[in-house]
Amino acid sequence: MTGKSPFEALSVETLAGRLGANEALCSQIGKDTSQWKVREVGDGNLNLVFIVEGAEGAAVVKQALPYVRLVGDSWPLPLKRSFFEYHALTRQQARALGSVPEIYHFDEGQALIIMEYLSPHIILRRALIEGRQLPNIAKDIGLFMARTLFRGSDLHMATKDRKADLALFADNVELCDITENLVFSDPYFDAKMNRHTSPQLDGIVAELRADRDLKVEAQRMKHIFAANAETLLHGDLHSGSIMVTDTETRMIDPEFAFYGPIAFDVGMLLANFWMAFFSQRGHEQGGSRDAMRDYLLGVTVETWSVFRVEFSHLWRTERTGMLYHKSLFEDQGDRLGAEQALDHMLQSIWTDLLGFAGVEVHRRILGLAHNADFETIADPDLRARCEAKALKFGRHVAVNRRQIHSIDEVNRLAALIERESRI
């Protein structure tokens, strides 16, 4: 199979015949295709994903489709997104060793990546829905974000290399367009593909769409997202893009990667923990989830703390790029000047991540692509009560982000909203 062949989507029936001579895959699972077992496990919005097991092991084959799978061929999408995913994964692996699956093979023409099969890992979102309290996720994710976001920026990279990388990822236009519209604009008007729990949320949806302050702030966040090319982002970092065991955490699916604001990945990720927090009321059939709620708020605190500590460490030890150059500070004996600049940067990241978190909450409840945290709550009235609290929280942190000074303050707000109208 070569990149020169016309694109053809794989299937369970055709995969062995088409990839049976692929040396990278055969070296992982064995050459005898008669012993291969192929399962299609792609449950995401965009791609085909297969687990291929052979006599000697297993691997994952992921292939892009020329359309948005969630919608169908009425929404075409370029195959080149697999190119950006491959290049993002290689950079993430170099910048945060062991945080992503190992890549065995990339075929640009067929838009497919053959990569490590993560087992017994499960999707983090599923684990949180099940009420599992994983001990390492905050540390692992905080380190991943700090290392990839710092080392992919002008704080660390050589200027020439960083600009070449910026040019490469600037071509990920269509996936940026999805984010720019589905996240920052569509939730705030009657967009064609929007959906929400109706009629239960109709009233609050109308209020949010009429909320001038909220819409201005959402567009301000869109402006920052589009204009502030600080670093290479994962671009879609949420609890459905992370695979976990009790001892290991791996990030997957960075096909939305592009150069944007450092705060974006951090805000989107923390938003998913806050949504998981508000969804817990809908998953209490087996008993109280008070301990799980406490755990999730604790995860947000630890994730942000780990990020800050590691980002600060890298600032002091790996600040080799053109920004805040040491010749202006440490080389002149002015360590405090460098610390002042660091404080300003962390404060800017903090303020902006709250805005990104707020709009992420809204788009996951009001837009096209929803979270299983809420969607798996079968009772629509109960689901709507959970979602309404999250929507209120999202509005507050987005609009009032400049007046919120700590994550403890955010979590006190979340706890207060959750206690309102308890069921």
- Residues of the chain with pLDDT > 90: what percent? 93
The tens digit of pLDDT for each residue in 102-142 reads 999 999 999 999 999 999 999 999 999 999 999 999 999 99
Over residues 374-408, the pLDDT tens digits come to 999 999 999 999 999 999 999 999 999 999 999 99
Residue pair 53/37 in contact (Cβ under 8 Å)? The answer is yes
Confidence band, pLDDT 50/70/90 cuts, at residue 67 = confident
Cα–Cα dist 296/204, whole Å? 26
Which pLDDT belongs to residue 4?
Answer: 67
Residue 2 has pLDDT above 90, yes or no: no
Q: 48-51: long-range contacts at Cβ-Cβ below 8 A with a sequence spacing of 24 or more?
A: 48/9, 48/10, 50/10, 50/12, 50/15, 51/117
- The per-residue DSSP string of 67-125 comes to EETTTEEEEE--TTHHHHHHHHHHHHHHHSTTSSPPEEEEETTTTEEEEE---S-EEHH
Residue identified by tokens 């689901």 is 383
Query: Which of 255, 264, 256 minimizes the C-alpha distance to 225?
Result: 264
The answer to whether the Cα torsion of 372, 377, 383, 386 is positive or negative is: negative
State residue 1's pLDDT score: 44
Q: How confident is the model at residue 45, as a pLDDT?
A: 65
User: 255: how many CB neighbours lie within 10 A of its CB?
Assistant: 27
Could you tell me the pTM of the whole model? 0.96
For the chain, the average pLDDT equals 95
Smallest Cα–Cα separation from 253: which of 269, 270, 237, 272? 237
Percent of the chain with pLDDT over 70: 97
The tens digit of pLDDT for each residue in 33-65 reads: 999 999 999 766 678 999 999 999 999 999 999
Return the bridge partners of 59, or none.
52, 116
pLDDT tens sequence across 284-340: 987 899 999 999 999 999 999 999 999 999 999 999 999 999 999 999 999 999 999
Q: For residue 388, with 0-12 CB atoms within 10 Å meaning exposed, 13-18 middle and 19 or more buried, which class applies? A: buried
Q: How far apart are CA 50 and CA 18, in angstroms?
A: 13
Predicted confidence at residue 423, as pLDDT, reads 35
Whether 255 and 237 have beta carbons less than 8 Å apart is answered as: no
The amino acid that residue 92 corresponds to is: Q
The pLDDT of residue 408:
98
Residue-wise pLDDT for 204-248, tens only, equals 999 999 999 999 999 999 999 999 999 999 999 999 999 999 999
